[in-house]
Amino acid sequence: MDHIPITQGDEIAIEKARRGDPEAFRVLVERHARPVFRLAFRMTGNEVDAEDMVQETFLKAWKQIARFDGRAAFGTWLHRICANCSLDHIRARKRKQDLQTGNDPLPQLATGAPSPERLALSSQVTAILGPALDELSEMERAAFVLRHYEGLSIEQISASLGVQPGAAKHSVFRAVQKLRRALEPVMSMR
């Protein structure tokens, strides 16, 4: 079952957290941790790293909450922080992997698929997409995840990741081209 947060704006909790109330910040953690986890999982490709990124994201948010100006929604702000934490993380991970023999993380199956057919397709896609995403450059992966799964525009991706719009756009292009090649076997069977 999806978590249904108790409905109340974030404003009161943000204001209290700004004044130094950790319990108010805890409310924000409880409300936003799952969406942040979903982004972190797509960026990092595994649950352990994703949970670390959630911690990292809230650590930064905690330290910087006084700088949150409210122009974007709090969730959007957190996602931006998470995207950057995850980008740094996968860069570091790639560097480490380059130094070692390639031990790609095993692709993880998502739980809760509604039907055997859907589960089979999802497993197939996951088995191919996970490693294919690992083959993308860090920027390509980040740009694709933000564009495709988070629905950010190229302009917003460029602002979030601190790159030129042209670079963000070409990262999305390259990611899509590579993923299309990777998913060809699945497409041909459909």
Partner 1 sequence: MKHLSEEDLILIYYGEPGAPYGAHAHLADCGQCKAAADALAQTLDLCNEWSVPEPDAGFERRVWKYRPSRWSMPRVWIGLAAAAAVLIAVFLLGRQSSAPQTASEFNSAMAGLSNQARERILEISLADHLNRAEMLLTEISNAGDPGLLNFTVERGRAQDLVEEGRLMRQTLARQGDNPTLTFLDEVERFLIEVANSSDSVSPNVLRELQQRIGSGSLLFKVKIIESNLRTRGQKL
Choose, by CB under 8 A, the member of 10, 11, 14, 26 that binds partner 1: 26
CB nearer to partner 1: pick between 14 and 98: 14
159 touches partner 1 by CB under 8 A: no
Choose, by CB under 8 A, the member of 10, 14, 27, 146 that binds partner 1: 27
Sign of the dihedral defined by the CA atoms of residues 11, 15, 18, 21, in that order: negative
Q: Distance between CA 90 and CA 95 in Å, rounded?
A: 8
CB atoms near residue 169 (< 10 Å): 17
Q: Distance between CA 76 and CA 36 in Å, rounded?
A: 10
The residue range among 68-76, 79-87, 94-102, 114-122 that interacts with partner 1, by the rule CB under 8 A, is 114-122
Choose, by CB under 8 A, the member of 48, 99, 187, 189 that binds partner 1: 187
Q: Please count the residues of the chain.
A: 190
Q: Distance between CA 49 and CA 117 in Å, rounded?
A: 29
DSSP state, residue 19? T
15 touches partner 1 by CB under 8 A: no
33 touches partner 1 by CB under 8 A: yes
Measured from the CB of residue 171, what is the shortest distance to partner 1 in angstroms? Answer: 11
116 touches partner 1 by CB under 8 A: no
